[in-house]
Amino acid sequence: MPYQLILFLAAVDFSSLGWLIAILFILGIALFVIELAMPGVGVAGIMGIISLIAGAVLASKIVSPSVLILIIMAVLVMIAAMLYWMYQSATKDGRVSRLLFLKTKTGAEEGYSSSPSKTELLGMEGEAVTPLRPTGTGDFQGKKLDIVTDGEFIPKGASIVIKEVEGFRIIVKKSDD
């Protein structure tokens, strides 16, 4: 089979294929433009590269070596530009990155919260309902809350005060009574 393909290519008169070469170059450029306009998997870009290379190979049978060098340089510049664009598009501020990643924030500054704020509890005094080693339950004005210490042991019934609130986590310390 490969031998027959070589015989066929040897018998082809490439001088009459100028229109095919032009079509391959135009198709390659068009596929590059499609890839730039609608980035995806890269099928159009790969087909464009194949088309440009095929056009350069066919042109090598017709044109002079100096013109062939210019054609090869143009093809390589287009391939390098395509690879550079694909890299830029996939990085942090590129087009593909903007399409795939959410840029909006849902923080407390924008009014979003995953848990209700309990900052009003700061400084509130209560009693340890269970031993805190370091987690347990505390009673603050009749309201039972899950609490945690900084690692210290606080016995059941000890007087405690809320020193810090971090989301769901309420950090207490032993009261200085």
Q: Please report the pLDDT score of residue 14 as a whole number.
A: 56
Domain assignment present for residue 152? The answer is yes
- Would the CA dihedral through 75, 80, 83, 88 be positive or negative? negative
Mean pLDDT of the chain: 79
Residues 127 and 96 in one domain: no
Residues 21 and 89 in one domain: yes
Residues 62 and 94 in one domain: yes
> DSSP states of 93-125 as a string?
TSHHHHHHS-----SGGGT--SS---GGGTT-E
Q: Please report the pLDDT score of residue 135 as a whole number.
A: 93
**Number of domains present in the structure of the chain:** 2
Domain finish residue from 100, 128, 144: 100
pLDDT one-digit tens code per residue, 142-154: 999 999 999 899 9
Cβ 170 vs Cβ 148: under 8 Å: yes
Domain assignment present for residue 2? The answer is no
pTM: 0.42
Residues forming beta bridges with residue 171, ordered by sequence position: 148, 164
Q: Please report the pLDDT score of residue 2 as a whole number.
A: 62
Domain range for 83 is: 7-100
